[in-house]
């Protein structure tokens, strides 16, 4: 029987203010790594809803996505276990809103930090994936697409049958 290949769908917030990008430092099986505020798309949510949720969970700030930076595919092979994962990432830019006072950062997130593009480039050995830098470089180059490029049918939000 053929097993269907299923990439892991993720969403990422590319947040820039004053020439600095917001990153998170997080514990991973490979050690302490830097990442964009990002995570897996949950069942029943659109990519736009997912990126707003992930940004809030990982930074304790509201995030309103306004443009699609890009759609990315990458592959990761975990050395310790041999796990082979393909990621399909939707990266959005937008407005960072107010901090939710008293909100703890998501489990595994150590801290948030602001870095210039040069600092992000210089820290690439610590990135969770090559997409961290690629998404930021695309954003810095002005790459943007309309939100309507990604359509989510209402059936996604419907409960199980």
Give phi and psi for 141, each to the nearest 5: -80, -5
Q: Identify whether 1 is part of a domain.
A: no
Q: Identify whether 133 is part of a domain.
A: yes
Q: Identify whether 54 is part of a domain.
A: yes
Domain holding 111, by residue range, is: 8-152
pTM equals: 0.93
Q: Identify whether 16 is part of a domain.
A: yes
pLDDT single digits (tens) 75-121: 988 877 878 889 999 999 999 999 999 999 999 999 999 999 999 99
Q: Identify whether 80 is part of a domain.
A: yes
Q: Identify whether 157 is part of a domain.
A: no
DSSP string spanning 41-70? PPTT--HHHHHHHHHHHHHSEEEEEEEEEE
29-33, 38-42, 74-78: range with lowest mean pLDDT: 74-78
Q: Identify whether 98 is part of a domain.
A: yes
Q: Identify whether 160 is part of a domain.
A: no
Structural domains of the chain, count: 1
CATH code for position 92 = 3.90.79.10
pLDDT single digits (tens) 118-140: 999 999 999 999 999 999 999 99
Burial level of 54, CB count in 10 A (0-12/13-18/19+)?
buried
């Amino acid at each position: 029987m053929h097993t269907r290949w299923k990439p892991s769908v993720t969403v990422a917030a590319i947040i820039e203010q004053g020439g600095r990008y917001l990153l998170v430092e997080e514990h991973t099986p490979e050690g302490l790594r830097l990442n964009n505020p990002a995570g897996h798309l949950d069942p029943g949510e659109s990519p736009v809803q997912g990126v707003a949720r992930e940004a809030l969970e990982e930074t304790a700030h509201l995030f309103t996505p306004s443009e699609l930076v890009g759609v990315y595919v990458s592959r990761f092979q975990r050395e310790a276990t041999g796990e082979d994962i393909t990621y399909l990432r939707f990266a959005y830019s937008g407005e960072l809103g107010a901090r939710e006072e008293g909100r703890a950062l998501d489990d595994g997130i150590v801290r948030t930090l602001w870095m210039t593009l040069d600092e992000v480039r210089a820290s690439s050995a610590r990135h969770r994936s090559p997409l961290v830098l690629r998404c930021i470089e695309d954003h810095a180059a002005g790459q943007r697409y309309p939100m309507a490029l990604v359509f989510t049918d209402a059936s996604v939000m419907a409960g199980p049958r």
